[in-house]
Structure 1
């Protein structure tokens, strides 16, 4: 009977495909399809045009109108560090750098300079990455200007085959790459190098980390890099991807014009596919490093054979079964994490890829306290064993299926609203890994048809193929060795015979609300035509402001605030509650635990998170339009029915303490703590960096009482919604769940502390860490009267200096991999300015690079910025703003801050004019005013 039912259900998933593939048709003999289901091909999304040029270059093209007037270009190369010869360690990545550093049509520094001139930022927009098996170049380009579009294709053509690789340029770039290598050094990298040979046993993956070795980066011969380029940068290993607001035919014509002329390589070097060796042993790697901030346990049950991409519906169906299994076991691990005595800070299991492209593994990972690794290992082993012995419950499977469909439905509804940068990745993976690209319409439809046919027996059988005693690796890392190999082996053996109880799946209520609220009233309605918003005035005094948009079909974003926050707490109250506030909501609401709430929200997309900040309290959240009522219910319950549960609170505190663990052993975390302590030494309300002692001293009773106090008056709150809003439902839910809440007309504000952070000239030097690397921070700060024109100029000053420092510190000196600059003038809680510059570098270069920064600041103070740098900054800001205005998040923040920060409504409509009106004199004035009063210098050096 089950087989007949399965066949009947399976018949619904038959869909038409093109004639080049064996197809499924609704009227096809079902039994034949099931028996020969390998012939049922996963289709390719018809909206994607895929082609191949005579020289072997593959291309993917898709018209996508979001954002408007922009196209995302990618060059994917099926070559990475795994292909390096012994004299080429790190050169796949080095080659990536050289493509930004001199090509046939863009000599040294011209490429970055040109792109900045049209508003494309280096790092934030223009970028690339190198992995074991691939190198991918990233270029977003404006498409509303033919010259810019043409230049974009010229750039990726040069990346494909026009690198100059001049010897002088190679040697000058060594410093930048070595600084990137230096910046990545630390406890994690040292431990990785030790356990990677066991994790990737018997393979080149254990010996080809993309960053390479310091020795080879310093000493490799120019010819080694040129040989890598010659061997692997060739048409048959390349794909060009173009997705954006341009006609597909036009994009195809440009690809053909630019890339057809690259000659195919005769007698190319074989592009090998590398794999792993199987091993009978269980490899155990227990690595420790005193600077490791976190502790972790990882189990890997590696597959015996290389994985192959899913190409048939039958193979796709298997992947759905595995994803259901992963969701269900992770739900159980979440319950453990949220239990009274959590065995780990976080834990999850899945079957998926490893560093080796073609080899997958069943993997379980947990983050632990420094002393909790063995406990976490046992918990992971036991949950997998429990699933193997007893399987899952019907309720678990039903909830997992609902969640899968809910996520897919959201993606399907937003299918025409996705930004191009979120689309290109699928086509890169199709080229590199042959992962299917059927499109969300097919995926959603096929899941609706397949999911009902998947049985509990199928999902329960999955783990039997995952767990085995060989080809297994256990990796334990942390600041100290607290687990022995014998203890790990004992745990692996013991779990097989240990008495374990079957999982109990308790039924939960269908609704979060147990007592229907009394409906309140809307007593007024106002409109703002400039912002396109409407505001309900509720009977209790609360205000609900909303803006209906069409940016996403399945998204509503939400935030709310009321002034006050912890600024209204006494110093003693503040210090007693600050490390308790984050744990309050872990108790759940209305008598339901966090685990209960997760089950009840299965198949529903709605999220709400209360907060108590320094100046206000409120909520952040989001929902699918059809689950907007659940969002309102959660808001109502967080106002009225937050649980008080000592066990849940203690569990949350213990997880926080475990996460904190060895954090201050990390030089970077320690440096930030020391700088913060230094600048707030006289601040009576300064809470400081968390510590186990501070968590232990957290006063739950007081924190809970203060929470109830802060959320006692809903009439003092402003609520904001942006997205695909049903106005009638929004009004109904506002009356039902918010207007009924107590309104006391308190109209509180926040209190401003008398303390002001230090300003002027100060120096703090911190010695921490054994790696030969330093960090430098330069900070100008103080009080000022807020002025929106100055604020705009000051922000632009930060971006202008950033352009200069990329040129000076990175390109000319080769002294840094990256630097950060930021200028900000704020009005809350009082007028203040902050301008920061930070960068990592070699200890011996600290003084020289610091002085270069100060010289560049002095030049702007004396002469103002160059016309070129000001123009670059203006174009980048305007381009970014145009794209932001088509996102719900932008509008949510804007309409909130009209009230919260008392911002000028007109700023929403004249931003571009304000930016264009900025002059060199405006920038010079704020530089003179704010960057000539001394600075705070912080330096992190390694221990002597």
Structure 2
């Protein structure tokens, strides 16, 4: 259960922003243009969904979707969040969300979670909810192949719609849990945000209604305040039920009518007011710093003066596409800066989108080093100004169109293969924000027909609408530390003025070659072809190539437009000497900042326009390899990239210097975060005496990184393609796989020599130890309890250890959260591994108040000791089994699962047929099995690691 803030606080750009409005399927052909312009007809709605409204005002969306099988995704969406709270209800929209899991008409306290766990629905992972400023959404996946479970699912949704019991005791019991969730959010980002939020949401109620609320009100609010919130806002005319899954529409509609037609609205309902944010003259500047801030950021908001425009018509939709092309082009330019020597920022992006306070804004963002805020701000401003003065180039627009259309094409080709949990979100947003749902077929066809009519001039014209000197906001945040000069407001104002007057040159769009590999290599050959496990679900084809390389592929129909890839060879840095490891550890990732075959990363971006293919090499501790994915139409491009990473990775000192600069900026103040600092310190403590431990690099480590040596070792690790196994899973064409394997992999240098990783004699610290670490000023702690040691690998014990972790997680939630009210979340995880040596690991972790760390640690260990003494209950083991089997049922229809399974069978030297026996093996697990591993491995000492605030 979470609170959800506006995208204004997200720091990562959504790479799929261009296709925000193209999620579902649609069969209607786009309307033809009239007199050269797009008509303002109403945007169509995908025929895949049935939308209805009950007499009480409740809206419903239903779609039959068979992926995954035998599951329905249910959602209850409410047009009420923290913005409608009165002064005595601050934080209670979110608190009310919690109460719906703690006693309702049909499920008394804890019965709801207990029931859902008994049918395999996991609390948190599956069952969840979130609260935002303007909405509350409840999430429930439910099996659709069992009428009784389906009925229960709709009964749960009905209870959430207004049947929480809200007893005094239940409310008081939950106060501690919500306060612990509040505690997890404390830190530098929250402290800084509180000082500038009123500038984003200027003169707006939004600035005072963060969904998490205040600690003071959560501790003291009257019972009637939360009951009044439910009475006022949990009403059918503000609700929607969304049901998407493997069940016919008629049955789902019947269930909705049966369960929700009886809901009634209040006789005198409160009006659902809209709350806006006022415009302001000039530019607001907020400059905040904090001792615990981990990074330096720059944000610019050019806030619209009117209300956000709804996408209602075909013309509106076309406007969105034009904005999407603008976003693509500006971000292509900003990405180029990140790849330059001494880059002005680690990354930067711009886009037009919503912020809190019912406002849209053109937004530019960058993350930089602690002394580079003004340089980053200048770069963002100059690039916006450059576009305003000169516009984009026609070549930039053509590349943007290719990229935009290729993403739409991929979604269109995967029509009918999309998982239900992805589809439901588009209907939630349609209900809450009136976001369009024309469907992917309509969207794709419209884009194909309309793109030729979108001219450069209309895209270029947008920047003049976006940029203005008033209703503008600049926010700078970063670390406060000795010797670091804080940027002043006057410096920001002066920079804003100077950029407008500065001499800015036009952008030069340097041309790149059209083909990735103009000259193809001389082909090798396929020495042997073998079909393995023919007719079984784990059927694969193995090609042995003339150079010794092995190709394994599996054709699936899970996605029409997806092929996943991975390759490995044993060895990795385990074959490096201690000295070589230390010299190259901080350099290895920087190798791939260089391009391939004379093409820089920026060149590659241009060349790959319209193509969907990626390959990423890696050098790990035990192996080296590559990972990637491609659309079937671009499979040859992916094979070419594989070949070039083996043979023609460029050596580019300037690109490496750029990488080191960005790493220093990223890592510069990261240790100021208490949790990160604690994790790193714990890693050092556990690896005390390990001559090969590198940990998080320091600035000194980065300065010493030996690029030349790392490059030579890379060439050594990738010199023998015959020592590699290559795996491909997805919509593969057997003939093309064979052709490309011969051309691009069999042609690589290779021989019959095989390497194996080396196992170091060092073992991490185990047994009874205590590690207390003090960092931070907020009253928050983190507790980690760690059991580990060597063990002979046994598959049955490994399954039991994993189940033990899941069982203990259930008990920790019951004890530490529900009974003690001392944590928001807690969990345990157990494993027994075969690689690189037999070992077991078991961990318990949770955040809490510092004063409760000792008590809750003791309580957690006491729960584990109960299992060690008596074993788990049959009921808890059955819950875990159900969850494991439901998860596996979904996994069997995922390319990523099969890629991992097939590759790991070789990597871990295990039997691929184990996948066939999974259900039988899980069902065969007994409480005795779990009891035995608990006694065998967890009866000894453990590392107790606790983060506490500074004294």
Task: Work out whether the TM-score is over 0.5.
Answer: yes
Q: CA deviation at 1:601?
A: 0.3
2:509 to 505, 509, 523: 505
CA distance in structure 2 between the aligned counterparts of 1:24 and 1:288, rounded to whole angstroms: 51
Q: CA deviation at 1:34?
A: 3.3
CA distance in structure 1 between the aligned counterparts of 2:910 and 2:474, rounded to whole angstroms: 55
Q: Give the aligned partner of residue 318 of structure 1.
A: 319
The SS at the match of 1:158 is helix
Matched, 1:804 2:811: yes
The 8 Å contact of residues 850 and 948 in structure 2, kept in 1 or not, is answered as yes
The 8 Å contact of residues 479 and 669 in structure 2, kept in 1 or not, is answered as yes
The 8 Å contact of residues 131 and 137 in structure 2, kept in 1 or not, is answered as yes
Q: Give the aligned partner of residue 782 of structure 1.
A: 789
CA distance in structure 1 between the aligned counterparts of 2:108 and 2:832, rounded to whole angstroms: 38
The 8 Å contact of residues 562 and 630 in structure 2, kept in 1 or not, is answered as yes
The 8 Å contact of residues 299 and 474 in structure 1, kept in 2 or not, is answered as yes
Q: Give the aligned partner of residue 331 of structure 1.
A: 332
TM-score (norm. length: structure 2): 0.96
Q: CA deviation at 1:359?
A: 1.4
CA distance in structure 1 between the aligned counterparts of 2:603 and 2:832, rounded to whole angstroms: 44
Q: Give the aligned partner of residue 139 of structure 1.
A: 140
Q: Give the aligned partner of residue 914 of structure 2.
A: 907
CA distance in structure 1 between the aligned counterparts of 2:37 and 2:604, rounded to whole angstroms: 39
Matched, 1:533 2:540: yes
Q: Give the aligned partner of residue 462 of structure 1.
A: 462
Change (3 A) 1:526 1:455: same
- Map of 1:293-312 to 2, 5 A cutoff? 293-312=294-313
The SS at the match of 2:203 is coil
Q: CA deviation at 1:131?
A: 0.3
Q: CA deviation at 1:744?
A: 2.7
CA distance in structure 1 between the aligned counterparts of 2:629 and 2:327, rounded to whole angstroms: 25
Q: Give the aligned partner of residue 15 of structure 2.
A: none
Matched, 1:34 2:37: yes
The SS at the match of 2:548 is coil
Matched, 1:576 2:576: no
CA distance in structure 1 between the aligned counterparts of 2:486 and 2:449, rounded to whole angstroms: 50
The 8 Å contact of residues 17 and 43 in structure 1, kept in 2 or not, is answered as no
Matched, 1:519 2:523: yes
Point out where structure 2 has 5 or more consecutive residues left out of the alignment. Answer: 1-24
CA distance in structure 2 between the aligned counterparts of 1:706 and 1:764, rounded to whole angstroms: 37
The 8 Å contact of residues 388 and 460 in structure 1, kept in 2 or not, is answered as yes
CA distance in structure 2 between the aligned counterparts of 1:203 and 1:746, rounded to whole angstroms: 69
Change (3 A) 1:914 1:708: same
Which 10-residue stretch deviates more, 508-517 or 650-659?
A: 508-517
The 8 Å contact of residues 16 and 24 in structure 1, kept in 2 or not, is answered as no
Q: CA deviation at 1:25?
A: 5.1
1:657 to 650, 660, 664: 664
CA distance in structure 2 between the aligned counterparts of 1:504 and 1:135, rounded to whole angstroms: 48
Q: CA deviation at 1:745?
A: 2.2
Q: Give the aligned partner of residue 475 of structure 2.
A: 475
Q: CA deviation at 1:17?
A: 10
The SS at the match of 2:284 is strand
CA distance in structure 2 between the aligned counterparts of 1:453 and 1:660, rounded to whole angstroms: 46
The 8 Å contact of residues 17 and 24 in structure 1, kept in 2 or not, is answered as no
Which 10-residue stretch deviates more, 616-625 or 682-691?
A: 682-691
Matched, 1:46 2:47: yes
Q: Write out per-residue CA displacement over residues 843-884 of structure 1, whole angstroms, 9 at most, x where no aligned residue.
A: 111111111111111110111001110000000001001110
Q: Give the aligned partner of residue 702 of structure 1.
A: 709
CA distance in structure 2 between the aligned counterparts of 1:152 and 1:631, rounded to whole angstroms: 44
Q: Give the aligned partner of residue 115 of structure 2.
A: 114
The SS at the match of 2:69 is coil
The 8 Å contact of residues 330 and 348 in structure 1, kept in 2 or not, is answered as yes
- Ranges of 4+ aligned residues in structure 1 off by more than 6 Å: 15-18
Q: Write out per-residue CA displacement over residues 221-253 of structure 1, whole angstroms, 9 at most, x where no aligned residue.
A: 011111111111111100000000011000000
TM-score (norm. length: structure 1): 0.97
Point out where structure 1 has 5 or more consecutive residues left out of the alignment. Answer: 1-14
1:634 to 641, 644, 653: 641
- Map of 1:558-573 to 2, 5 A cutoff? 558-573=565-580
State how many pairs are aligned: 920
Q: Give the aligned partner of residue 186 of structure 1.
A: 187
Q: Write out per-residue CA displacement over residues 239-286 of structure 1, whole angstroms, 9 at most, x where no aligned residue.
A: 000000011000000000000011122221000111110000211000
Q: Give the aligned partner of residue 414 of structure 2.
A: 414
Q: Write out per-residue CA displacement over residues 299-352 of structure 1, whole angstroms, 9 at most, x where no aligned residue.
A: 000000011211111111111111101100100000011111210001000000
CA distance in structure 1 between the aligned counterparts of 2:530 and 2:621, rounded to whole angstroms: 30
Q: Write out per-residue CA displacement over residues 723-756 of structure 1, whole angstroms, 9 at most, x where no aligned residue.
A: 0001101100000000000013220010000001
CA distance in structure 2 between the aligned counterparts of 1:887 and 1:75, rounded to whole angstroms: 27
The SS at the match of 2:797 is helix
Q: CA deviation at 1:198?
A: 0.8
Q: Write out per-residue CA displacement over residues 124-171 of structure 1, whole angstroms, 9 at most, x where no aligned residue.
A: 000000000000000000111000000000000000011111111001
The 8 Å contact of residues 235 and 265 in structure 1, kept in 2 or not, is answered as no
- Map of 1:348-387 to 2, 5 A cutoff? 348-356=349-357, 358-387=358-387
Q: Give the aligned partner of residue 8 of structure 2.
A: none
The 8 Å contact of residues 339 and 651 in structure 1, kept in 2 or not, is answered as yes
The 8 Å contact of residues 400 and 602 in structure 1, kept in 2 or not, is answered as yes
CA distance in structure 1 between the aligned counterparts of 2:76 and 2:236, rounded to whole angstroms: 11
The SS at the match of 1:140 is strand
Matched, 1:485 2:486: no
The 8 Å contact of residues 26 and 440 in structure 2, kept in 1 or not, is answered as no
Which 10-residue stretch deviates more, 918-927 or 687-696?
A: 687-696
Q: CA deviation at 1:202?
A: 0.9
The SS at the match of 1:423 is helix
CA distance in structure 2 between the aligned counterparts of 1:542 and 1:16, rounded to whole angstroms: 44
Q: CA deviation at 1:758?
A: 1.1
The SS at the match of 1:68 is coil
Change (3 A) 1:335 1:24: closer
Q: Give the aligned partner of residue 7 of structure 1.
A: none
- Map of 1:279-298 to 2, 5 A cutoff? 279-298=280-299
Q: Give the aligned partner of residue 401 of structure 2.
A: 401
Q: CA deviation at 1:450?
A: 1.2
Q: Give the aligned partner of residue 8 of structure 1.
A: none
1:941 to 927, 943, 948: 948
1:496 to 480, 495, 500: 500
CA distance in structure 2 between the aligned counterparts of 1:212 and 1:932, rounded to whole angstroms: 42
Q: Give the aligned partner of residue 229 of structure 1.
A: 230
The SS at the match of 2:933 is helix
Q: CA deviation at 1:527?
A: 1.8
Matched, 1:732 2:739: yes
Q: Give the aligned partner of residue 250 of structure 1.
A: 251
The 8 Å contact of residues 813 and 827 in structure 2, kept in 1 or not, is answered as no
Q: CA deviation at 1:194?
A: 0.7
Q: Write out per-residue CA displacement over residues 866-915 of structure 1, whole angstroms, 9 at most, x where no aligned residue.
A: 11100000000010011101100000001101111012222110101000
CA distance in structure 2 between the aligned counterparts of 1:775 and 1:352, rounded to whole angstroms: 36
CA distance in structure 2 between the aligned counterparts of 1:25 and 1:515, rounded to whole angstroms: 45
The 8 Å contact of residues 30 and 442 in structure 2, kept in 1 or not, is answered as no
CA distance in structure 2 between the aligned counterparts of 1:147 and 1:17, rounded to whole angstroms: 35
The 8 Å contact of residues 561 and 717 in structure 1, kept in 2 or not, is answered as yes
Q: Give the aligned partner of residue 563 of structure 2.
A: 556
The 8 Å contact of residues 16 and 25 in structure 1, kept in 2 or not, is answered as no
Q: CA deviation at 1:689?
A: 1.7
Q: CA deviation at 1:514?
A: 3.3
Q: Give the aligned partner of residue 7 of structure 2.
A: none
Q: Give the aligned partner of residue 922 of structure 1.
A: 929
The SS at the match of 1:465 is helix
Q: Give the aligned partner of residue 856 of structure 2.
A: 849
2:884 to 877, 880, 884: 877
CA distance in structure 2 between the aligned counterparts of 1:721 and 1:689, rounded to whole angstroms: 33
Change (3 A) 1:774 1:16: closer
CA distance in structure 1 between the aligned counterparts of 2:435 and 2:926, rounded to whole angstroms: 50
CA distance in structure 2 between the aligned counterparts of 1:214 and 1:47, rounded to whole angstroms: 45
